[in-house]
Amino acid sequence: MSRRTYLSGVGLSIAAIALVWTVLSYGGVVPPLFLPSPSDVVRAAIALLREGSLPVHMRASLSVIVSGWALAVVVAVPLGILMGTLKFVEALLEPVVDFVRYLPVSAMIPLLILYVGIGAAEKVAVIFIGTFFQLVLLVADVSSNVSKDLLDSAYTLGAKEGTVFSRVLVPATLPGVMDNLRITMGWAWTYLIVAELVAADRGLGYLILDSMRGLFTDRIFVGLFVIGLLGLAFDLVFKWMHRTLLPWSPKA
């Protein structure tokens, strides 16, 4: 598929959504309380920018998201590779990881408040827990599915075990790991509302929850659009990193 055709498809999908939204809102099919018009959302965004509150909410949420997700990545990726490579590490960690990853993050908030308080650390911990245990298993699955023929070929050529691990296994795993990082960044954004549910005074999740209490639907849409646009920006960055940093990947 040519780039022009791809971009045409993107533009068509955006135009279709905008058309449906315009018809439903301006046509009076859905009341403004439930679906504000595009112009209402734009006015609300301009008002938040003039107040200076929208950039503050964005910075607060980005700080929480990036900190919690980055901590999860630093710990989960090495552990995941080891779990997928060494059966002893898998036997040691997988039961705990499987158990915790099924626990709802929202159910852990009372314990997190008790352990780390109600400050930024609690919010970062929510993002960390929500992404870490899923990422470990995803990376382990990628690592365990590296072609055995690839590893055997390296051993046949006389490579040592450490060399095979660092020069063959890890590079072969990285394309899948990059895809998983992109996926878990999306999950991190979904935990934003949960992270900012308790004792928050700033953040996009707080903006949405506070607007919900006052039935300011237009501001809710502003918060949702900003989250979506930031998420899209992260997604594009990951795609660029995949092509640039991993030239051996099939997706490159």
Q: What is the pLDDT of residues 19-29, one digit of tens each?
A: 998 898 888 88
Instruction: Please provide the DSSP assignment of 159-218 as one string.
Output: --HHHHIIIIIHHHHHHHHHHHHHHHHHHHHHTHHHHTSSS-SSSHHHHHHHHHHTT-HH
SS3 109: helix
C-beta separation of 231 from 189 below 8 A? yes
| 234, pLDDT greater than 80 | yes
Which whole number is the average pLDDT over 212-219?
Answer: 90
pLDDT of residue 30: 86
**What pLDDT, on the 0 to 100 scale, is given for residue 72?**
96
pLDDT at residue 200 is higher than 80: no
pLDDT at residue number 132 = 94
Q: What is the pLDDT of residue 1?
A: 63
**Residue 86 DSSP symbol:** -
Burial 92-110 (b: 16+ CB within 10 A, else e): ebeeebeeebeeebeebbe
Distances (CA, A) of 211 to 40, 44, 62: 14, 11, 19
Tokens matching residue 5: 């055709």
Q: Answer whether residue 114 shows pLDDT above 80.
A: yes
> pTM above 0.85?
yes
Q: How large is the average pLDDT for residues 185-198?
A: 85
pLDDT category at 252 given cuts 50, 70, 90 is low
Q: Is the pLDDT of residue 198 over 80?
A: no
The average pLDDT across 44-57 equals 93
